Structure formats: structure tokens, C-alpha cells
Amino acid sequence: MRVHYVAGNHDYHVLKMQGHSYPFNFVKSLELTDGDSKYRFLHGYEFDTDQKETLMEALCRVMSDEIESVESQAWSTMTRDLGDLRSMLADPLMRERRRQQGGLMVKPEIRLKNKLKGIERHVSSIVQPGEILVFGHTHRPFINKIETVANCGSWVSDSPIHNTYIELSSGKPRLFAFGGEEILERSEC
């Protein structure tokens, strides 16, 4: 079995693991063909204007899950991430976005609430003919009415609908809640 890991806004660092004999294919995007069916996979941060790779990578390093002393982590962050942080702080557009946004530390369900429909319409507009685009990021699981866009949702248990996944079969996406219940409702976008 081949496993493909599509990196998102909290795990760019996994892209550096490509080619180190791991049994995974680490990518930013993935295109697969199954017979006449064409699938494109993206995390979805690409459609969120508040995301900037250098900022998210620096924040992920600062908020690392690694267990180490506060002093070691602070030193590591200062010496390893200074270039990324300087770049982020020097970017006037990023400063303005953070000021307007109130910070990226707000839960996605809240931060993206007013942007969801726009993101979903945008994603639907860029799908190529004969393709199904699968993404996540917004934590809102859905399949559009014409079944060309599917959002796999979230495993975060405090999301309104969570533990969801997409199954692709015979050129059709199907949305399930973990445990087998299929979600049949289709989204207008």
C-alpha cells in the first residue's frame, strides 16, 4: 500500500522528510488517476488568505509537541527560526492581516466562519473538468451538489461535525462519519 501525506499549514516540516526511506510520500499536493477518474488533493490552506507559509512554519516550531525545557525551546526557536520570524515581522501586509484578524490563534471554525462560503465557491471554481478536488483545512465537511469538490472535515472533537472522512469510489466522493454513517446532504457552492 502506498501512503501519501498531504502537508498542511501545521506540518510543512514533514516535507523535509521526503526521500529518507520513510514508507510515505510527503507532498504539498497530489494528483491521482483511477481509470477515468482524476483526483486532486490539497490541504486547503492555499485558499485561506490569512495563511502564510513562513508564519505558520515558525508558529509550528514555537508550539512544538516536543518535550523539552522552556529554556531549550526558546533558544532553539530564537536560533533556528529567527530568519522566518524576521521575514514575518517585516512583512507589512502580514502585520495588517494580523491586526485585522486578531491573530491566527483563534479556532478555525470561528476565524473562518465568515469566509467559508467564499472559500468553498473559490475551490468549486478552480476544479478542472473531469476532476474531483479533495481538501480540508476549514474543518467543515461537505461535498458540493455536482460532486466535484469534497472537504473531508476534521478529527477535532470540538468541531460541530467531526471524525469525518471521504471515500472515493468509481469517480464519486462519499462523506462518512467515523463508524459508518454516510452524510448525504450536499452543499451549494
The DSSP code sequence of 38-87 is EEEEE-SGGG-TT--HHHHHHHHHHT------HHHHHHHHHHHHHHHHHH
Numbers of helices and strands, H then E, in the chain: 5, 10
Q: Which of 103, 138, 166 is the last residue of a domain?
A: 103
Tally of domains within the chain = 2
pTM to 2 decimals? 0.72
The SS3 call for residue 123 is helix
Q: CA 184 to CA 66: how far, in whole Å? A: 40
| Helix, coil or strand: residue 145 | coil
Domain that holds residue 98: 53-103
Predicted pLDDT of residue 54: 72
> Which residues of the chain carry a pLDDT beneath 50?
65-69, 71, 75, 101
- Predicted confidence at residue 94, as pLDDT, reads 59
What pLDDT is stored for residue 22 in this prediction?
Answer: 83
Judgement on whether residues 92 and 138 belong to the same structural domain of the protein: no
Residues 85 and 129 in one domain: no
Whether residue 80 is contained in a domain is answered as yes
Q: Are strands 37-42 and 131-135 parallel, antiparallel or unpaired?
A: parallel
Question: Do both 29 and 120 map to the same domain?
Answer: yes
Does one domain contain both 131 and 38?
yes
- The three grid cell numbers given for residue 37, joined into one nine-digit string: 477518474
Tell me which H or E stretch contains 42.
strand 37-42
Q: Could you tell me if 169 and 129 lie in one domain?
A: yes
Residue 77 confidence (pLDDT):
54
- Please report whether residue 7 resides in a domain: yes
